Chains A and B, each alone.
Chain A
Amino acid sequence: MNNRYSVAQLSFFFLGSLVLLFIVAPLAGMFLNTTPAQVFETAGEAEVRDSIWLTIYTSLAGTLVFSVAAIPLAYLLARKQFPMKKLVTGIIDLPVVIPHSAAGIALLGFVSRESVLGKMGSAVGLDFVGHPAGISIAMAFVSIPYLINAARDGFSGVPVRLEKAALTLGASPYRVFFTISLPLAWRNILSGLILMFARGMSEFGAVIVVAYHPMITPVLIYERFGAFGLKYARPVSVLFILISLVLFIGLRWLAKEKESEMVK
């Protein structure tokens, strides 16, 4: 194998390094400006721990609840032609392109106590505004495209003839979906779920409009920055980033383990 690099490749490496530096440098700077003692002290604060836990479980709940409908929709998009399919695909990508604070305003009108959904929720003792349920909805709104698109790619990669074979072997369309399509698309779906979860956890703009309190960690970081400055916002930021990294590396590792078991 030729280990020499051409001028073009060297220039690409250089440019790529700049991009990596652009990502790593601010984070490295923040980590280097925060001592372990500060991080441990912050981790000991009940407000911070509660906030991180709230962030995790609201994003997880939103991901799991909305995946029940999002995954079948992704399957339809992968398999079926129907009128206005392009429009539907465009609508799915909307949350990615619209400003998130604007999304929050739209959601606020949708889930406030005066709205239809708000009234239905109130009837069963569930409020959305200023409530974890509202946070989950806001998180899911901005992150659901990642799940749908990943799942659709996954289903598109499942050969149709396998589903046809299952039908000829007596399986109902439901059984085909759950025993053939879903397992074979699982890697992409899991990746989409992890992305949706991650994106939801990092959401700020939509959530802060729907539910400033209780404070998820991105909102808490913003508040500490506004009230006390950069120095006091850093430890929470570092802690949240560390926990996020542990979570996602752990999830990815688990996903790879499951994939290895399926291959064996």
Chain B
Amino acid sequence: MLELRNITKRFDDFCLKEVSFSIDQGDYFILLGESGAGKSMVLETIAGLVAPDSGNILLNDKDITSEKIQNRKIGLVFQDHAVFPHLTTGENIAYSLHGTEMKKEEKHEKVKAVAHELGIVHLLKRKPGTLSGGELQRVALGRTLIQQPEVLLLDEPLSSLDTRLKGDLRRLLRAIHRKGQTILHVTHDYEEALSLGTRIAVIYQGRIIQSGSPAEVFHHPKSEFVAHFIGVKNFFAVNVVTENQASFAYTADKIPVRIVTDLPDSEGFILIRAEDILLSVLPVETSATNNFKGKVVEIVPNAGGIDVTVDMGMELHAQITRESLEKLGLITGKVCWAHFKASAVKFINI
């Protein structure tokens, strides 16, 4: 339905480089990337606010690259909603109906219907200065949805909201999507991407580096950036060598990690979940085939417990409980052993 082909745009200190992806009708497409990666620029280029230096944008097979902004049938909700402060909520929502052939009463009814769908009928006569962040985001959505755009572009719609409001707005976005709206949603939050998206593309330094279903992207990250971005900390580039029917993935530091694979000698990445790494303060015999001696370099509490970084020639992150930390007496600088099974190591061939 919407296709970007090799979109390139140079700015003073930034560049979008040959950005290409396609969105099918009914998709909830997530463009995932860190701040400054070019996500908002991609949206503004699709909307027509920025003209690309090269490349094409197609909507329903029609090239709209040079089409006027007003004629693109694409709706854009800005990161900070950009609701007009001098107009009431109702006037904001009705803004795009100007110049249409609708009668005043019809416009009024349409505004009410959209406001009702978004739960903001009671706010129609209020000015934006008196509304909360969540309410403003709904007004911005209503203002855009009333045009019935072919594609709805959302620029970090949840970033300025607190946790409770985020949940509310996510439910609303799912509801809008279920009604058939095609959505392109830009975010830096991978959990948001997982919870909403049907397809994901990862953008880094102005370039799409991976795209696919959420499962493909998150279970088979194709680069260290993607892996770290989605919260995988143990991600290493390796060369796999099979010796005497045992496969070893050699990291850049020449550390041999035992893995299970049928693939011949090849290059790729290994990914080890922090929860799969066990720590001990003594060299113990375990069923794990990967046992490395190292030193604790960092201990950081997180939502799941404690992240312990062990330097064993390469830095490994282990996720343990506070209880375990205290039982083992782990402190920065202490020598310890890290253990994990070969089957816990996921090898991603490139």
Contacts and interface: CB of A to CB of B under 8 A. Distances in A.
B74 interface: yes
B69 A168 contact: yes
Interface stretch (A105-113, A147-155, A156-164, A239-247): A156-164
A179 B147 CA distance: 18
Given A167-B70, A169-B143, A161 B95 contact: no
A167 B85 contact: no
Contact of A166 (B47, B74, B85, B95): B95
Contacts of A263: 127, 129
Contacts of B75: 168
B148 to A, nearest CB: 12
Contact of A169 (B44, B48, B85, B144): B144
Interface string B12-52: 00000000000000000000000000000000100111000
Interface of B: 44, 47-49, 69-70, 74-76, 78, 80, 82, 84-86, 95-96, 98-99, 127, 129, 143-144, 147
Minimum-distance CB pairs A-B, first 5: A165-B82, A169-B96, A168-B76, A170-B70, A167-B69
A171 interface: yes
Contacts of B74: 168
A213 B47 CA distance: 59
Given A167-B69, A170-B70, A171-B98, A183 B82 contact: no
Contacts of B48: 167-168
Interface string A172-212: 10010001100110000000000000000000000000000
A101 B85 CA distance: 45
A32 interface: no
Contacts of B76: 165, 168
Given A170-B147, A184-B85, A263-B129, A161 B69 contact: no
A80 interface: no
A158 to B, nearest CB: 10
A190 to B, nearest CB: 14
Contacts of B78: 161, 164-165
